[in-house]
Chain A
């Protein structure tokens, strides 16, 4: 044991002395100050100071990344790039951003090495991590979701990011486009006689012989969009205060009654698509009125259910297509 310790110590010390001198970056000179100073207040109530509109931006959550991409700001760093590409095809990334690790635990080292002008995070990130990110660069903390006003929260997030990146004009266009899309969707649904249709959206996942279903209640972003489209939300389950998501099992679906049922899965993730998989042979599922009537709709993949205007516009299109078939 002792000899082992000695050897390890000696070898490590030798390796370090031989290889570790020198620098990877020359010593710094004073950074130049630019004009166009910005002061923003984020969702955590923190004043965020920027020297000017941020160009090199890192996003820790996919909704943030979608906002950035939609605003034409190519993010320098994104958490779980592969996952984003699979789940959010509505607003694809135009560049190849650096992967900064997982959404729950983005790597400080990688973010720091990118030396961004701005980090956009959400309230889902632990406070300790935000504190540390603030040492790297100004951090804009967005409220991840608010079931009291989901659409308002989404557009407020978009506006704040737009201000920080100097793309307010583009944000205006996006919001107008989104409003127009909602109005158009509503009109099309009304024309098809779909006003007031009961429309239940859910996702779900499977493990073993168990299926968990997550209802999107009226407090979810998709629930709010449905309401704007003139649809009615039939879920009676209570959602969580941020995302408006509930939890139920298959027999909980019997309370829905005669509705249109819709879900989004992912072809890349088999366990996230129970409705076409294990439920197909389930007697409760088969006895549900909407399954019997064939009013179950699988909406196209790649619409991020917690995303921004781009995802929501794709969602509106898919709902209109499903209901006016």
Chain B
């Protein structure tokens, strides 16, 4: 793996002379934070500006202005520093202990775990004091980090960690979003809070949590020396008498504590934990002297504080004060962090080869026919169940009457609205599975998936922009907007990762960056255009078939039919391209052109699916993978099986989402994430050390 930390350089004479540089950099950081802090306390919704702040600080201001400075500006500024520092420290510690530069509170799902824990507390209607809620957040975050690290294996490589983390984030966030939809009144503030904002109601929160952050920092400094030895490798560290496992556990617990502190205070402020240590490393390369854990933790803390304060100051400088209240700091840092992730991924020397093809047994024709037959039966069962089940249960005779146009009024109503939804779920599932199959074949990357690649995110962004700016847009317009967004995201992701032939690391990391950026932009759009209708956007993003009518499905049906035709016609090419780089070329196949064509088709399919049913994750990943496991890797067999699986999976998720909590409902995407996350994690565990 290329993008992993390098071992700390041995101290040399040169290092000593560079220490002066390191001290200077630290001093500059402190000055920068001080300047940003001063700028931050002069900004806000009241009329208190720089002059009043000066008066307040020198004790000459009137009581009202002074109270604004003391109870609003100073706590906000302190919270910014505290949150940034805690996240920077946590990120640096996690990266050191996992020997992985992508480890951070976000990528380890710590934030998602805390969010779910707090969401559960909010949904049960329990009103917790601040310290207790940070305890709840800590437990949630720690559990999530434990799962991710357990599944991905420490030092198990960047991609595995990112995948496990983002999969768990997706699954946990889906559950939380389900709670938001189910308890909109109780969790109203939670959605806003989830965007992350450092604004504070007085010093109370900061003062409660400051000791925790200090304890975390002290703890990290204490174990720093042991963490340093871990960089030499587990065996070497053990040889030096360092308890490897205990050191790891302690460090992860401390990092989770720090992240939970930040999350309780300000909500999840995205990607500071990732970018701050990365920036410090860049500086270390130039000035040296930062690679020891003790130094990198403290400097990451300073850099994190500067990042958070800087984002807040920049936001308030750009937009009017009342708008800045509505735009969360976390959205700004997420955008910054996403750009960072992409740059990091494209700059890293990616020597990791593309994964070798799955080593799968050759399956006989009988196996293929049995599997296909069974899946067809399952799909028919799902269709029948979907049509019959719902808030009002129907029987087959009703459907027969309806089909013959002589059903009763109520039955016709129910079926007229239910059948398009069932079709939307089935078609979207099939299209996503086909898209996943194509993209995985073309990139020869078994983990490539429209959702993970940011393509679905781009499509959703395009669609959300159209929905919010032109509410009356028709299905064709929506599909076009989704495709424009998906095409843009795909061009970005594939363009940036094409160098070196879509290596796993780069593709997945760039994809994740784009997915994060599109999610942040969607949040921004909703906050700015329709701040009081978060439910509408959540509904759309949770992959819902709600409110679909037959005309909405036309673009999807057309694209799916075309896609299936192409996939069947090009089955041999797919087999060859997915094999390796050279074979197709030797056989005289125009590889780049074939790749581009098939990728475009994959993007079209994902976009059409998003336009018809919002973002549905994991199907594009799980269905082709399961299909290959069932019937081998020849595409003439994989394509039909994957498509059938995808349709059955989303169809099931849709009918479950419509029935379990009727008359309220959950989006199909939420349920596929809930079903897909464990499968995906299991897949990662199973392939651990399996030669990937």
Binding site for B on A (CB under 8 A): 1-2, 5-6, 8-10, 12-13, 16, 19-28, 31, 83, 99-113, 115, 124, 126-129, 131-132, 135-137, 205-212, 237-238, 240, 243, 245-255, 269-272, 278-279, 281-289
Indicate whether B636 reaches chain A with its CB closer than 8 angstroms.
no
Assuming the contacts A5-B374, A248-B322, asked whether A101 and B665 have C-beta atoms less than 8 A apart, the reply is: yes
Given the known inter-chain contacts A27-B406, A254-B46, A284-B72, please indicate yes or no for A112 contacting B127, CB distance below 8 A. Answer: no
Contact B662 A5 (CB under 8 A): no
Q: Across the two chains, which residue of chain A brings its CB closest to B535? A: A104
A-B contact pairs, 12 of them (CB 8 A): A1-B626, A5-B371, A16-B396, A104-B184, A107-B664, A108-B421, A128-B546, A128-B547, A208-B267, A212-B189, A251-B45, A284-B68
Instruction: Given A21-B395, A271-B186, decide whether A284 and B67 contact each other with a Cβ distance below 8 A.
Output: yes
The segment out of B191-199, B336-344, B556-564, B578-586 that lies at the interface is B191-199
Task: With a 10 A CB-CB cut-off, give which of A128, A131, A240 has the most chain B CB atoms.
Answer: A128
Is B325 engaged at the interface, CB distance under 8 Å to the other chain?
Answer: yes
Q: Are B322 and A238 in contact, CB atoms less than 8 angstroms apart? A: yes
Which chain B residues numbered 334 to 384 have a C-beta less than 8 Å away from chain A? 367, 370-371, 374-375, 377-378, 380-382, 384
Taking a contact as CB atoms under 8 Å apart, the answer to whether B46 and A251 are in contact is: yes
Asked if B67 contacts A110 (CB within 8 A), the reply is no
| A110/B193 contact (C-beta < 8 A), A115-B410, A238-B322, A271-B127 known | no
Q: Classify the secondary structure of B's interface with A.
A: helix
Interface band, chain B: 35 or more
A113 CA to B548 CA, complexed, in Å: 18
B residues with a Cβ closer than 8 A to A are: 44-48, 63-64, 66-68, 70-73, 122, 125, 127, 130, 133, 181, 184-186, 188-190, 192-193, 197, 199-202, 204-205, 264-265, 267, 321-322, 325-326, 367, 370-371, 374-375, 377-378, 380-382, 384-385, 388, 390-398, 401, 406-414, 416-418, 420-421, 471-472, 531-533, 535-536, 539, 544, 546-549, 552, 626, 629-630, 658, 662-665
Chain A, Cβ-Cβ closest to B263: A208
Shortest CB-to-CB span from B494 to chain A, Å, is: 31
Contact of A107 among B47, B322, B663 (CB under 8 A): B663
**B201, A279: Cβ atoms closer than 8 Å:** yes
**A26-B408, A112-B413 known; A83-B185 Cβ under 8 A:** yes
A249 contacts B72, C-beta separation under 8 Å: yes
With A5-B374, A20-B384, A287-B63 already in contact, the answer to whether A205 and B188 are too (CB < 8 A) is yes
Q: Report B-chain residues with C-beta under 8 Å of the C-beta of A270.
A: 125, 127
Chain A residue at minimum C-beta to C-beta distance from B73: A251
Q: Which residues does chain B contribute within 8 Å of A107, judged by CB atoms? A: 391, 658, 662-665
Cβ–Cβ contact A108 & B68, under 8 A? no
Q: B44, B367, B409: which has the most chain A beta carbons within 10 Å?
A: B409
Q: Can you list the 3 inter-chain pairs with the closest CB atoms, starting with the nearest?
A: A207-B189, A209-B205, A112-B413
Contact with A129, one of B395, B406, B546 (Cβ below 8 angstroms): B546
Complex Cα distance, B190 from A212, in Å, reads 11
Report the separation of the CA atoms of residues A109 and B370 in the bound assembly, to the nearest whole angstrom. 36
A209 lies within 8 A of B535 (CB): no
Residues of B within 8 A of A24 (CB): 392-395, 398, 411
